[in-house]
Amino acid sequence: MTNTGELKAFADSITAATSPFRNYLSDLHRKYLPLTDGAVADYIPELALADPSWFGVAVATVDGQVFDVGDCDRTFTIQSISKAFVYGLALEDNGRDYVNSKVGVEPTGEAFNAIVLDETTNRPYNPMVNAGAIATADLIKGKDGTERLKRMLDMFRRYTGRDHDINVPVFLSEKSTGNRNRAIAYLMLNFGMVGDRIDETLDLYFQQCSILVNARDLSLMAATLANGGVNPITGDRALDQRYVQDVVSIMLTCGMYDSSGDWAYRVGMPAKSGVGGGITAVSPGKLGIGTFSPPLDAKGNSLRGIQVCQQLSQEFGLHPFNVAAPPKDLATWIKGGEGLDSW
Ligand code: GLN
C-alpha cells in the first residue's frame, strides 16, 4: 500500500467481499439459476455455442464499489448493448442537432431488425433498432474504418477501465450473414440518411456488436452513466455530461427492444440488452447493474437478467417513479449494520 487511493480501493474490496449486499446477490443468483426457459440466440453458430447455465450478476455503485457473483469474468459479445454507448460517442462527435436530424428518438414497437424508416423524415426511428444503430455508427468520425473502430474501443475502455477485443469469428459471421442489415443500410443510403462509405460503416457496426465484455464491465458502464459520465473507479470521463441524459432517456424508452414499455412499467431502470445475453441497467445517482445469461425470451432479452433487475428494482426502490419507502434500504445493505431484515 503506497497511497491513500490504493488503501481506499483495498478497503472497498474488503467491504464488497463481506457486505450483506453481496450475500443478497448470491441468493438472487441461486434463486434464478434453475430457470430453464428461453433460448440461446442461434442466428450465427458462435452464439449458439453459449452454455445456457452461464449466469453472472454484477452491481457497481457510483462510489466505486463492485459486487459480483457467478460468471462475471466470462466474456461474451456486447451486441446491441453497444448501441447506447456508440450513440453517446456520435453525440460528442456531431452535437445533438445534427444527430437528431439523422436518427429519431421515438420507440417503434417493432422488432430490432425491422426494415422501417419514418415516412416523413426518412430517419430511422431511434438509435437502438438496427437501422438507427447503423445510422449512428455512420456518424462516428475517423479517417478510416480502423481509426473509427479504435475510437469506439477507446470509448469502451473509458467506461470499463480495461482494454477490449473484438471476437473475430463473431464479426466475420455477422458480416457474412448480415444481408438484412445491409438492406437497411442501403435503404438509408438511398434516402441520403447515411454517407457513401456505407460498407465501411457496416463493418464498423458488425465490429461494435462483436466487442467482448463481461457482466462486471456492463455494471461499470451503467455505473458510469449513473455517475454523470465519469467512471467511478478510474475517474475517467467516458461521456460528456451534456449527453448523459440523452443516452439514458433512450435506454428507458427503447433499450429493451419491443418490450421497452413492459420493462419501464415493471423495472423502470433505463437499460439496454443484447442477444449475447447481457443487460446493462442504470439507476441514476446510485448504481449500475450488469447481468449475463444467454437464454433469451421471445423479444431477445435475457430471461434471468430480467428477473434479477426486476427484483433489485422492487426491493431497493430503484424504479425512478417509486416514491414509497422501499422494502430494503440500499445504503444499509451495502454497508451492513442495523436494520437488516431476516438474515
Ligand atoms: N448483431 C446483431 C444484429 O445486428 C445485434 C443484435 C442484437 O443484439 N439485437 O442483428
Query: How many of the other CB atoms lie within 10 Å of CB of 328?
Result: 18
Exactly one of 40, 57, 62, 80 is catalytic; name it.
Answer: 80
Q: Quick check: 332 pLDDT over 50?
A: yes
pLDDT value at position 205? 98
Exactly one of 69, 205, 260, 282 is catalytic; name it.
Answer: 205
Residue 222 grid coordinates: 451503467
Place of cell 417503434: 108
Element (H, E) at 59: strand 56-61
- Shortest CA distance to 80 belongs to which of 238, 269, 299? 299
pLDDT single digits (tens) 110-161: 888 889 899 899 999 999 999 999 999 999 999 999 999 999 999 999 999 9
Residue of the CA atom closest to atom 2 of ligand 1: 79
Question: Which ligand 1 atom sits closest to the C-alpha of 276?
Answer: 8
pLDDT value at position 111? 87
- Shortest CA distance to 29 belongs to which of 304, 256, 229, 216? 304
Residue of the CA atom closest to atom 4 of ligand 1: 130
Exactly one of 62, 69, 275, 282 is catalytic; name it.
Answer: 275
pLDDT single digits (tens) 32-44: 999 999 999 999 9
Rounded to 5 degrees, φ, ψ at 212 are: -90, 130
Element (H, E) at 84: helix 81-94
Exactly one of 59, 69, 83, 103 is catalytic; name it.
Answer: 83
Task: Establish whether 83 is a catalytic residue.
Answer: yes
pLDDT value at position 145? 98
Asked if 292 contacts 215 with a C-beta cutoff of 8 angstroms, the reply is yes
Residues of CATH 3.40.710.10 domain(s) within the chain? 4-79+212-337, 80-209
Look up residue 61 and give its DSSP letter: E
Q: Which residues does ligand 1 sit against, CB inside 6 Å?
A: 79-80, 112-113, 130, 174, 181, 209, 274-275, 300
Task: Provide DSSP, 176-220.
Answer: HHTHHHHHHHHHHHHTTSS-S-HHHHHHHHHHHHTBEE-HHHHHH
Mutual orientation of helices 198-209 and 81-94 as an angle, nearest 10°? Answer: 130
How many whole angstroms from 79 Cα to the centroid of ligand 1?
A: 5
How many whole angstroms from 208 Cα to the centroid of ligand 1?
A: 10
Whole-number Å distance between alpha carbons of 102 and 229 = 24
Q: Which CATH number fits domain 4-79+212-337: 3.40.50.12780, 3.40.710.10, 2.160.10.10, 1.10.510.10?
A: 3.40.710.10
Question: Which ligand 1 atom sits closest to the C-alpha of 133?
Answer: 4
pLDDT value at position 12? 64
Of the listed ranges 105-109, 167-171, 287-291, the least confidently predicted one is: 105-109
Task: Establish whether 31 is a catalytic residue.
Answer: no
Whole-number Å distance between alpha carbons of 59 and 134 = 30
Helices (H), 142-293: 145-160, 168-177, 179-190, 198-209, 215-226, 241-254, 260-266
Question: Which ligand 1 atom sits closest to the C-alpha of 209?
Answer: 1
Confidence band (pLDDT; 50, 70, 90) for 6? confident
Q: Quick check: 247 pLDDT over 50?
A: yes
Asked if 284 contacts 121 with a C-beta cutoff of 8 angstroms, the reply is no
Predicted structure pTM score = 0.94
Exactly one of 62, 210, 257, 273 is catalytic; name it.
Answer: 257
Task: Establish whether 257 is a catalytic residue.
Answer: yes
Confidence band (pLDDT; 50, 70, 90) for 215? very high
Question: Which ligand 1 atom sits closest to the C-alpha of 300?
Answer: 9
With respect to CATH, is domain 80-209 assigned 3.40.50.150?
A: no
Q: What is the 3-state secondary structure (H, E, C) of 109-121?
A: CCCCCCCCCCCCC
Task: Establish whether 283 is a catalytic residue.
Answer: no
How many whole angstroms from 241 Cα to the centroid of ligand 1?
A: 28
Share of the chain above pLDDT 90, in %: 88
Find how far residue 64's CA is from the centre of its chain.
18
